[in-house]
Amino acid sequence: MKLLILLVVVLAIIAIAQLTKVYELTRSLRKTREEDISTADNKLQANLMLVWMFVFFASVIYLYDRYGNYLPEAASMHGAEVDYLMKINIWMITIVFFVVNALLFFFSWKYYYRKDRKARFFAHDNRLEMIWTLIPGVTMAFIIVYGLITWNNITGPASADAIQVEVYSKQFGWIVRYPGENKTFGSSTYNLIDPASNPLGIVTKENIKAKVDSIDVDIEKLKKAIEENQKLPIWPDSYVESQNEKLYRLERLKQRVLDINETQNPVTGMSEWEAGADDKVINTELHIPVGKEVEFIFRSQDVIHSAYMPHFRAQMNTVPGIPTRFKMTPTITTAEMREKLGDDTFDYILLCNKVCGVSHYNMQIKVIVEDEKDYLAWVEKQKSFVAPKEEPKKEETSSTTDSTATAGVQLKKPAAIAQKND
């Protein structure tokens, strides 16, 4: 196969070279020059311009016809607005596209070189130039104003009764969190993250204690190892250095954990250390109710990701250290959309849309829109503090949308707290 390709390429180059030789020979016999484009050549190129124009336009029209309905109807309130604005814009740029390209290729065809003719000396015309400064100007003014009105609607503050959902990203998956009965999110910090028992780093007294204990264990172990090595040095110097560095980092981490302050929720006045105990943490599905405003709060564990929900025309980056927000009101439930599309297996989806590593292309979570009643029942059913399933291996991440495993593994300490609060 390799040889074959190589052979074809080499043969192609030899063929070009031979053709060029023949061409150069005839050129020297006829005493023509490269820069003297013959009338026949000019005419041919002019005609090709016209042919190309028709082929190009026909292909574009075919693409519009076949792929023009790019996504199903928007499933959110602002999405419908966005689609309408998009439609106006696409119509406008399509018209300009056809007109301007047609003029370009048509003029190229019409005014090809003829010896007996002289071009028209036409250096400038202020009136014409004014026209094509003003027309785009006015059009842009319209687009800017209309676009910004829509933008303001999308990005305005969420209403007070909006449902809040936290969406948390990490390499390579999504975790969602709902406040429990107390309707208040607990605070969280990356210092408390434990992928198995506390993937979001939710702050509770027990979590802090558990973390400090586990750090202490690590510190003790490390100190012992370093001491032993001092008695009987077997480590290379660079390793000693790295172990000392590790110890220093652990102590810093412990200090940061001890420095976490207790905070109050500004609205409910509840301690955010206590509020977190009944938060629901799920890594398999994102449920939202139809017809209610939902405000997503995005956070990220490691690198920048982007939460992209094409069916809702929604997207927001998730940035480590900087929570971001996006609000929307879903308008079509999953069941209704399935019916509209005639596809029983259809599901909304949330994709990662900012390159984040090797499994970027498979970082997704299923989104389910349902009646508020079903939604509340579903949230109710979720257990608090659920750990994610076994991390899939990096190379062969499997889809994490298996709904049968919703509950996941329950963990001892946090679950106990959750029950106490009940």
Partner 1 sequence: MGASAEHTHAHGHDHGHHHEESFISKYVFSQDHKMISKQFLITAIFMGIIAVMLSIFFRLQLGWPGESFGILNFFLGDKWAPNGVMNGNAYLAMVTIHGTIMVFFVLTGGLSGTFANLLIPLQIGARDMASGFLNMLSFWFFLVSSIIMVASLFVEGGAASGGWTVYPPLSALPQAMPGSGTGMTLWLISMVLFVASSLLGGLNYIVTIINLRTKGMKMTRLPLTMWAIFVTAILGVLSFPVLVSAVVLLLMDRSFGTAFYLSDIFIEGQALDVTGGSPLLYQHLFWFLGHPEVYIVLLPALGISSEVISTNSRKPIFGYKAMVGSILAIGFLSFIVWGHHMYVTGMNPFIGSVFVFTTLLIAIPSAVKAFNYITTLWQGNIRFTPAMLFSIGLVSTFVTGGLTGIILADSALDVNVHDTYFVVAHFHIVMGMSAIFGMLAGIYHWFPKMYGRMLNTKLGYAHFWLTLVCGYGVFFPMHFVGMAGAPRRYYSYSEFGFLDWVMDLNPVISTFAIVGGAAQILFLFNFFHSIWFGQVATQNPWGSNTLEWTTPVKGIHGNWPGAIPEVHRWAYDYSNPEHEEDFVPQVVPLKAGEHGH
Give the separation between CA 288 and CA 329, rounded to whole angstroms: 9
Q: Rounded to the nearest whole angstrom, what is the least distance from the CB of residue 89 to partner 1 in the complex?
A: 5
Give the separation between CA 136 and CA 131, rounded to whole angstroms: 9
31 binds partner 1 (CB under 8 A): no
23 versus 239: smaller Cβ distance to partner 1: 23
**Residue 247 neighbours by CB distance under 10 Å:** 16
Q: Rounded to the nearest whole angstrom, what is the least distance from the CB of residue 269 to partner 1 in the complex?
A: 26
Q: Which two tokens stand for residue 281?
A: 């943490």
Task: For strands 364-370 and 348-352, give the pairing.
Answer: antiparallel
Q: Rounded to the nearest whole angstrom, what is the least distance from the CB of residue 303 to partner 1 in the complex?
A: 4
Give the separation between CA 254 and CA 248, rounded to whole angstroms: 10
243 binds partner 1 (CB under 8 A): no
Judged by DSSP in three states, 291 sits in: coil
376 binds partner 1 (CB under 8 A): no
Torsion region of 305: left, alpha or beta (phi above 0 gives left; psi -120 to 50 gives alpha): beta
42 binds partner 1 (CB under 8 A): yes
Q: Which among 6-14, 233-241, 283-291, 369-377 is the span making contact with partner 1, rule CB under 8 A?
A: 6-14
Q: Which member of 48, 162, 219, 240 binds partner 1 (CB under 8 A)? A: 48
340 binds partner 1 (CB under 8 A): no
Give the separation between CA 258 and CA 275, rounded to whole angstroms: 19
Q: Which of residues 148-207 bind partner 1 (CB under 8 A)?
A: 148, 150-152, 154-155, 170-171, 189-191, 193, 195, 201
Q: Return all residues near 232 (Cβ < 8 A) that are at least 6 apart.
A: none
* Position 316, amino acid: M
Q: Which member of 345, 373, 393, 412 binds partner 1 (CB under 8 A)? A: 345
Q: Which of residues 62-121 bind partner 1 (CB under 8 A)?
A: 63, 67-68, 70-71, 79, 81-82, 85-86, 89-90, 92-93, 96-97, 100-101, 103-105, 107-108, 111-114, 117-121
303 binds partner 1 (CB under 8 A): yes
Supply the DSSP symbol for 348.
E
x/- map, 258-297, partner 1, by CB under 8 A:
----------------------------------------
Q: Rounded to the nearest whole angstrom, what is the least distance from the CB of residue 174 to partner 1 in the complex?
A: 14
Q: Which of residues 116-145 bind partner 1 (CB under 8 A)?
A: 117-125, 128-129, 132-133, 135-137, 140, 143-144
10 binds partner 1 (CB under 8 A): no
Give the separation between CA 264 and CA 236, rounded to whole angstroms: 49
- Residue 270: closest CA among 184, 367, 356: 184
Give the separation between CA 351 and CA 306, rounded to whole angstroms: 8
